Chain A
Amino acid sequence: GENVEQHPSTLSVQEGDSAVIKCTYSDSASNYFPWYKQELGKRPQLIIDIRSNVGEKKDQRIAVTLNKTAKHFSLHITETQPEDSAVYFCAATTMEYGNKLVFGAGTILRVKS
């Protein structure tokens, strides 16, 4: 089955700097890769996702890149702000799994002002 590894487990950046979180997956059939942000005490919220037919997707200050050959995908946050502080989860899935998502362990991002 699918296995997703996420690095780093914690990340501290200065406000205004960029943050990058990386995930690798094991199943080459995976075709959907969402990223979730979870603020303290709140539900995970989808912030961006990418499908296997594209290599990059951007939404304002966040972007995701996908390298299918290497089986890894990354979240990029530019011009970080204190409100970006949260736990970020990556995930991967295929339709074979009936829309099951396999999640990474999460990255705690702290943006210092």
Chain B
Amino acid sequence: DVKVTQSSRYLVKRTGEKVFLECVQDMDHENMFWYRQDPGLGLRLIYFSYDVKMKEKGDIPEGYSVSREKKERFSLILESASTNQTSMYLCASSHRQGPYSQPQHFGDGTRLSIL
């Protein structure tokens, strides 16, 4: 069974802090994703990576960066946290194979509060 593990379920940080959210998957997936989930807005893609050291901007990358030094680990970084970044953050991973996209598997999420 696919396991996507996010380092924290709940996190409280202060405005201006640098925040790291970690995600690890154990299925040797090539693709990894970071989303934020806000009520009424669904899941919005922040960044994704299709290989080690590769990264692509999603729909809302402003204020965020990512790091993928190892295939199994994808980190989301809030360079200088702001209150509008209070949200639920979800990590996901998937294989890259064949002509069709493959299912994405999600972690449990990190509920981040910026005070």
Chain A interfacial positions (CB closer than 8 Å to B)? 6, 9, 31-32, 34, 36, 42-46, 49, 51-52, 89, 93-95, 98-106
Contact B90 A44 (CB under 8 A): yes
Q: Tell which of B14-22, B40-48, B60-68, B74-82 binds the partner.
A: B40-48
With both chains docked as a complex, state the minimum distance between the C-beta of B13 and any C-beta of chain A, in angstroms. Answer: 21
Number of A-B residue pairs at CB separation under 8 A: 65
Excluding A95-B99, A98-B31, 5 further A-B contacts by CB distance (< 8 Å) are: A9-B40, A44-B43, A95-B101, A101-B104, A104-B42
Known A89-B42, A99-B96, A100-B45; contact A45-B106, beta-carbon cutoff 8 A? yes
B105 at the interface (CB under 8 A from A): yes
For A89, list chain B residues within 8 Å (CB). Answer: 42-43
Chain B interfacial positions (CB closer than 8 Å to A)? 31, 33, 40-45, 48, 50, 56, 58, 90, 94, 96, 99-109
Contact A43 B107 (CB under 8 A): yes
Which listed residue (A31, A34, A42) contacts B103, Cβ 8 A?
A34
Q: How far is the CA of A102 from the CA of B43 in the complex (A)?
A: 8
For B42, list chain A residues within 8 Å (CB). Answer: 6, 89, 103-106
Chain A residue with the shortest CB-CB distance to B96: A99
Contact A95 B100 (CB under 8 A): yes
Chain B residue with the shortest CB-CB distance to A44: B106
Contact A43 B100 (CB under 8 A): no
User: Can you list 27 A-B contacts with CB-CB less than 8 angstroms, sorted by A residue number?
Assistant: A6-B42, A9-B40, A31-B99, A32-B100, A34-B103, A36-B106, A43-B106, A43-B109, A44-B43, A46-B103, A46-B104, A52-B100, A89-B42, A93-B101, A94-B101, A95-B99, A98-B31, A98-B48, A99-B31, A99-B48, A99-B96, A99-B101, A100-B33, A100-B48, A101-B101, A104-B42, A105-B42
For B100, list chain A residues within 8 Å (CB). Answer: 31-32, 51-52, 95
Q: How far is the CA of A98 from the CA of B30 in the complex (A)?
A: 11
Chain B residue with the shortest CB-CB distance to A51: B100
Q: How far is the CA of A52 from the CA of B101 in the complex (A)?
A: 11
For A32, list chain B residues within 8 Å (CB). Answer: 100-101
For A105, list chain B residues within 8 Å (CB). Answer: 40-42
